[in-house]
Structure formats: C-alpha cells, structure tokens
Chain A
C-alpha cells in the first residue's frame, strides 16, 4: 500500500444526489491532490492543496467542491453531477520542497453517475 487511502472505492449516484469522497494520507506529506482519470485520456489534475491551502483549481466545474481540513485529509464534495463526470477519482500526496519529487496515489474511487 502507498500510505494513501480513499473511501469509498465505488460510488453510484444519481444526478441530483450529494456525496463526498474522502482521502487520507499517512505519510506526513504537506501537499494533496485530486485527479480525474477517464478512459484513454491523460490524468487530469483538478485541485492542489499545500499546507491546507488551495493553490490550484484547474477550471473545475463548481459541482466539484474540495475541502482540506488538515494536511492529512482531503475531501471532494459532489453535487448535481453529470454522466460525463463518471470516472476514477484519484487522490495523491507529496512532500513539496526539499527536492522531493514523487507523488503517491491512492487506489481511487470509481464513480458512476446515472
């Protein structure tokens, strides 16, 4: 295991539902990320948090709302999603600065929007 856990692993939701994805890292890292992985497309970076502060939002629709209450936990709140939002959502963490380069990924949440 990488030290990054995600729950739930699978989620099916209707377009009018509200749900949340949770990520927790046990590595003592100071940066956390949300990625979207769709079939046959590169991983898309959605949000970046450094020391609990959101530093990047890559033009993600407002129906995705991230929350980072502390440096170990990251949430992605979902509401009024569209079928095209169905994908694997990956959380990652890294220790920024100090020359560390690697990002460690969780197993992902497979989201299906019906």
Chain B
C-alpha cells in the first residue's frame, strides 16, 4: 500500500518535444506529491510538488497533473531541452505518528532529450 508505481523506466524525447512521466499510488493517506530531478553524480533535488486539493500545478516548463479519483499524477516537461536529461523520481508523502513525514519514491525514469 506504500508503493508508488512509476512509468516509463526510460524515455527518449526530441528537443522541443513533450516529456510525460506517470505515477500511480494506492495509499489515500498520501497528501503531498513531489517530483525530484537527479543528474549523474548528484543527489535528487526537488523540482516541483503538488497537494491533492488542486488538479494542476505549473512552474515554467514543468507541469504536474493530478487525478485524485484515479490516484494518478504525472509530470509534463514542455519544450524539452538536452539539459533536462536526468532521472526523475515521483514521490508521495504522508504524516506519521512520530511527527515526521514519510516519503515514498517511485523507481525513477531516465529521460534523454536528443538535440
């Protein structure tokens, strides 16, 4: 019930195209959904996040679409650039009894944007 399923595992997109990564979850206690971007040799870094009370959030070329009834959310990268080539992780967060928040990650999508 704590899993977050992410697809595809890898993605190749032409420069200027749209990259779409999908995630699905089961646990309805999740109340915060961040996306992390990881470049080789670096740790994951928060890219954009959404709460389930909104259906879409946009920051620059990055958009999260959220479907609460389907328990699915996705990341769209518009006008994809070679510099966007990285591994992307979706995640879902839930509060715990200890007061901290647990973060459950998807398995990651390796995005390659070809020039």
Question: A: which residues have CB within 8 A of B?
Answer: 2, 4, 31, 40-43, 45, 48, 50, 55-56, 90, 92, 94, 96-97, 101-108
Contact = CB atoms under 8 A, between A and B. Distances in A.
Interface residues of B, number: 25
Given A90-B43, A90-B44, A105-B45, A48 B100 contact: yes
Given A50-B98, A107-B43, 18 more contacts: A2-B45, A4-B43, A40-B107, A40-B108, A41-B107, A42-B89, A42-B106, A42-B107, A45-B103, A48-B100, A55-B100, A90-B44, A94-B100, A101-B32, A101-B93, A102-B34, A102-B49, A103-B103
Residue picked from B9, B43, B98, B99, most chain A C-beta under 10 Å: B43
Given A50-B98, A55-B98, A55-B100, A105 B43 contact: yes
B100 A107 contact: no
B34 A43 contact: no
B32 A108 contact: no
Given A40-B9, A101-B32, A107 B41 contact: yes
Interface in B22-51: 32, 34, 36, 41-46, 49
A91 B110 CA distance: 21
B73 interface: no
